[in-house]
Amino acid sequence: MASSRLKYLSLGVLVFQTTSLVLTMRYSRTLQADGPRYLASSAVVVAEVMKIIACVLLVFKEHSYSMRALNSILRQEILHKPVETLKLAIPSGIYTLQNNLLYVALSNLDAATYQVTYQLKILTTALFSVSMLGRRLGVYQWLSLLILMIGVALVQWPSESPSGPEKEALSAGSQFVGVMAVLVACCSSGFAGVYFEKILKESKQSVWVRNIQLGMFGLVFGLFGMLAYDGERVRESGMFQGYNTITWTVVALQALGGLVIAAVIKYADNILKGFATSLSIILSTLISYFWLQDFDPTSMFFLGAILVIVATFLYGYEGKPSPNPSRA
Ligand code: C5P
């Protein structure tokens, strides 16, 4: 069936995209440390622009490369349906908030605690899928989600406790702020993803048109963010300061990520997206061990990896998930 092929294709591309993004970001941090740094807020804006351009091209292709059809669909669906368009401001605003919360989290927690805690989003996503989409999960599927969460947490467990001064620098108060920020981000990640899925599956409109609507708000919020955080520096040295080939690669992979996540939400769902990103965490860790040699896997890592793989098979074991009433 074509849709089932698209489902596995989109999940496969997501594994590839997440893995290469993590490796490129790590590479850019470890091997390209010197020289002026690019502004993260500018990278967000550029990725958003790339995403919108790619989506416009995809809509153009969907309409047999007719400029007239492209023009009329963009007018009809985006300009003439302001209420439909405004609906996309909700996930877009939440994603912007989420990206900032994760920044707050990382400033108040060590990276490992942050990553382990953020895995709770697997469960929040499942809870929102059940409550907002009426999806029904069997016992084996809940169990597999629990195993998946524990597995990813183990995979990311720090190999040794963080060095003394770093740990001591984080006061109990700031730990609390950090953990609260991650917990709110877990809820927002689950909610925004499932809300976008609901919009996609409740209407016939192309996923790429929806993504243009999402991207437009993302661009506006991103520009505000860039001017608020880095306005001074942008006025001094421009928004492309510190960009090099590797920066453009990271930005392009991030834009591709937005497209692939949208395709996964359309053809598969947010819960399967969790499995794909979990598998890619294992893959990127293994590649970074064999290739960049900057990681030494512990037995915790292998135990976690086995749990993730077992969970992936267990999720599919009980047969198909009950039909989703909101799916056309
Ligand atoms: O952690 P989580 O899976 O919630 O992150 C999803 C990310 O994907 C967010 O940073 C969001 O901006 C991005 N996204 C996107 N296009 C979509 C859906 C999500 O760029 N259609």
Per-residue pLDDT tens digits for 98-110: 888 887 888 888 8
**Ligand 1 atom with least separation from CA of 51:** 20
Instruction: Please give the Cα distance from 151 to 308 (Å, whole number).
Output: 5
The ipTM, to two decimals, is: 0.92
Per residue in 46-82, pLDDT (tens digit) is: 999 999 999 999 999 999 999 999 999 999 999 999 9
Per residue in 12-38, pLDDT (tens digit) is: 999 999 888 888 877 776 665 566 778
Q: Whose CA is nearest to atom 19 of ligand 1?
A: 258
Place of tokens 């080939």: 245
Q: What is the DSSP string of 99-168?
A: HHHHHHHHHHS-HHHHHHHHTTHHHHHHHHHHHHH-----HHHHHHHHHHHHHHHHHTS-SSPPPHHHHH
pLDDT of residue 299 exceeding 70: yes
- DSSP-based three-state secondary structure for 314: helix
Evaluate: CB of 186 within 6 angstroms of ligand 1. Answer: no
The reported pLDDT for the residue numbered 41 is 87
- Could you tell me the pTM of the whole model? 0.84
Average of per-residue pLDDT values in the chain: 87
Q: Whose CA is nearest to atom 10 of ligand 1?
A: 95
Which helix (DSSP H) or strand (DSSP E) does residue 270 occupy?
helix 270-287
Which residues are within 8 A (CB) of 169 and not within 5 positions of it... i.e. 6 or more apart?
none
Assign 2 a pLDDT band (cuts: 50, 70, 90). Answer: confident
Q: Which amino acid is at 221?
A: F
Evaluate: CB of 47 within 6 angstroms of ligand 1. Answer: no
Tell me which of 13, 48, 261 to substitute to probe ligand 1's pocket, judged by most ligand atoms within 8 Å of the beta carbon.
Answer: 261
Assign 294 a pLDDT band (cuts: 50, 70, 90). Answer: low
The sign one gets for the Cα dihedral 233, 239, 242, 246 is positive
Q: Whose CA is nearest to atom 13 of ligand 1?
A: 258
Per residue in 303-314, pLDDT (tens digit) is: 999 999 999 889
**Ligand 1 atom with least separation from CA of 95:** 12
Per residue in 153-171, pLDDT (tens digit) is: 898 777 665 544 444 456 7
258 Cα–ligand 1 center, Å: 6
The reported pLDDT for the residue numbered 71 is 95
Instruction: Please give the Cα distance from 248 to 243 (Å, whole number).
Output: 7
**Ligand 1 atom with least separation from CA of 258:** 20
Q: Residues for the chain: how many in total?
A: 328
Task: Give the angle subtended at the CA of 56 by the CAs of 73 and 269, to the nearest 5°.
Answer: 95
Evaluate: CB of 193 within 6 angstroms of ligand 1. Answer: yes
Instruction: Please give the Cα distance from 102 to 222 (Å, whole number).
Output: 15
**Ligand 1 atom with least separation from CA of 47:** 20
92 Cα–ligand 1 center, Å: 9
Per residue in 245-258, pLDDT (tens digit) is: 988 998 999 999 99
Beta-carbon count within 10 A of 83 CB: 6
The reported pLDDT for the residue numbered 151 is 92
261 Cα–ligand 1 center, Å: 7
Q: Whose CA is nearest to atom 16 of ligand 1?
A: 258
| Residue whose C-alpha is closest to residue 214's, from 261, 267, 247, 276 | 261
| Residue whose C-alpha is closest to residue 269's, from 168, 176, 195, 188 | 195
225 Cα–ligand 1 center, Å: 17
309 Cα–ligand 1 center, Å: 24
